Amino acid sequence: MKKRGDSAISPTREEDYPQWYQQVIKASGLAERSAVRGCMVIRPWGYALWENITSALDAMFKATGIQNAYFPLFIPLSFLEKEAEHVEGFAKECAVVTHHRLEKGPDGDLVPAGRLQEPLVVRPTSETIIGDSFSRWISSYRDLPVLINQWANVVRWELRTRIFLRTSEFLWQEGHTAHATSGEALERTLLMLDIYARLAEQYLALPVIKGRKTASERFPGAVDTFSIEAMMQDRKALQAGTSHFLGQNFARASGIKFQNAEEKEEYAWTTSWGASTRMIGALIMTHGDDDGIILPPRVASAHVVLLPIYRSAQDKSAVMTYTESLARELKEIRYHETLLRVQVDDRDTGGARNWDWIKKGIPLRVEIGPRDIAQNAVYLGRRDKGNTDKISIKRDAFVAKLPQLLDEVQKNLYERALTYRNAHTITLDDRDGFYSLFTPNNADHPEIHGGFALSHWCGSSACEVKLKEELGVTIRCIPLENPSENGACICCGQPSKERVVFAKAY
């Protein structure tokens, strides 16, 4: 066991992965638990990260013709009930508004008053309320497609919560589209899945597998659900975005009808797709190390922090002048779609300051002292390297190389994650090997084990249930790019035509 003090975060990943996750978040200032059960506070460092993620995603949506809109927070209970599977899927986790004012009760305390005729559910997702608008917007094939996205908060009353991964309230976007044909709707479903994969790989530096969910893992009411799946450093899978082909189910429930070119009335074909603050959880668990989180440059809350170092008042003036002029210069540099985000931290807290920024996961740290200035240089540390692995680099070279340096960090994070995933993705055909893979083999660190097992599955839900019950393992997805191959189900031995991805999951 590692001694305390070897790393900035205690416990380490190996010592206690779930606890490490809570501690890196705390140390980073990304978010914190709130006084409201299961709800988080996203702190400025976390919210800036979310703003960068959302602005990348929003631009990709708009480039495909999606328009943003906003729909009510509340859904009448009767709306939710219109699609039977849908309401069944969400009934257990609905926050329900039953009153619309507060009044002094008999003992002087304020109590809910003004009972609503119909209870309102705080949206867990908005298919039914948006469907209601669609039913009014759409009457002819000329009105189609309708391509809408909403950035919003949603509430799902979870019993066990974990910051970013599973909170009662979370932030997300939910896209909703309506089409004249099944083919067009399915194409849109897969296009949005592609966009999620692009966001994950190019911005969040998360390698993901695009795939189709089995029936048991589908969105309630969907015909087909697709997802992107990433591997965390405890080898569990995390679903980082889902895209649903809803067929005509929700159109029928909400009355979304149109006259086709032959003047016949049809139900529209709809899709919905969402990604949430959960992606931040994926990012933390994929890239973080025992010193804290590591932010991929493309979405980092800030790219570089300048840390002036001085002892005397005379030094301070020269160092601050140099630092501020460098900060101004850096803030003008373009990095992909944006300008460099630069922080200057002139607190005189010594080593604690440096560790603060390591724990915050900023990609680059730049120390500037009198000696650096004398050499017209800076002293550079990369967060993706060891914390003592720093180099002196001429100021001009540093400025010129900065975008490239950040791209190197980005690439390194992606490749490290891919290497990790590949190392723990195993093609398995024997049942014993499968059981052994998913059985913790070290009593001290039970959390880190398993991986992605590429194994055959006969297609029966009975086998899914059995593996879930016995091992806690589920089918994460049937990869989209999956070669056809004859084999035998890892559970029952019945014939199978393709391998699927089995894993434990968040």
- Which residues lie near its own copies (CB under 8 A)? 32, 34-36, 39-44, 46-48, 50-51, 67-77, 79-81, 87, 91-103, 110-112, 114, 119-122, 129, 132-133, 136, 148, 152-153, 155, 157, 169, 171
Tokens of 269: 């074909």
Minimum gap (Å) between residue 151 Cβ and its own copies = 9
Which C-beta is closer to its own copies: that of 95 or that of 448? Answer: 95
Exposed, middle or buried, 103 (CB in 10 Å: 0-12/13-18/19+)?
exposed
Which C-beta is closer to its own copies: that of 39 or that of 480? Answer: 39
Minimum gap (Å) between residue 206 Cβ and its own copies = 22
Which C-beta is closer to its own copies: that of 84 or that of 397? Answer: 84
Cβ distance 327 to 345 under 8 Å?
no
Minimum gap (Å) between residue 97 Cβ and its own copies = 5
Q: Is the dihedral of CA 42, 47, 49, 55 positive or negative?
A: positive
Minimum gap (Å) between residue 213 Cβ and its own copies = 24
User: Between vectors from CA 210 to CA 198 and to CA 129, what angle results, nearest 5°?
Assistant: 80
Say if residue 11 is preceded by a cis peptide, omega within 30 of 0. Answer: yes
Minimum gap (Å) between residue 258 Cβ and its own copies = 17
Which C-beta is closer to its own copies: that of 136 or that of 311? Answer: 136
Minimum gap (Å) between residue 457 Cβ and its own copies = 33
Which C-beta is closer to its own copies: that of 80 or that of 192? Answer: 80
State the Cα–Cα distance between residues 125 and 94, nearest whole angstrom.
10
Minimum gap (Å) between residue 463 Cβ and its own copies = 31
Minimum gap (Å) between residue 58 Cβ and its own copies = 9
Minimum gap (Å) between residue 158 Cβ and its own copies = 10
State the Cα–Cα distance between residues 155 and 38, nearest whole angstrom.
10
Tokens of 330: 């850096």
State the Cα–Cα distance between residues 327 and 323, nearest whole angstrom.
6
Which C-beta is closer to its own copies: that of 26 or that of 468? Answer: 26
DSSP string, 213-274: PPGGGS-TT-SEEEEEEEE-TTS-EEEEEEEEE-TTHHHHHHT-EEE-TTS-EEE-EEEEEE
State the Cα–Cα distance between residues 456 and 42, nearest whole angstrom.
41
Which C-beta is closer to its own copies: that of 133 or that of 474? Answer: 133
User: Between vectors from CA 264 to CA 262 and to CA 265, what angle results, nearest 5°?
Assistant: 140
Which C-beta is closer to its own copies: that of 134 or that of 398? Answer: 134
Minimum gap (Å) between residue 22 Cβ and its own copies = 16
Which C-beta is closer to its own copies: that of 120 or that of 458? Answer: 120
Tokens of 220: 């309630």
Which C-beta is closer to its own copies: that of 7 or that of 254? Answer: 254
Residue pointed to by tokens 């309102």:
120
Short-list 25, 23, 101, CA closest to 280 = 25
State the virtual CA torsion across 410, 415, 416, 420 in degrees, nearest 10.
Answer: 140
State the virtual CA torsion across 225, 227, 232, 237 in degrees, nearest 10.
Answer: 30
Minimum gap (Å) between residue 491 Cβ and its own copies = 33
Which C-beta is closer to its own copies: that of 36 or that of 215? Answer: 36
Q: Is the dihedral of CA 403, 406, 412, 417 positive or negative?
A: negative
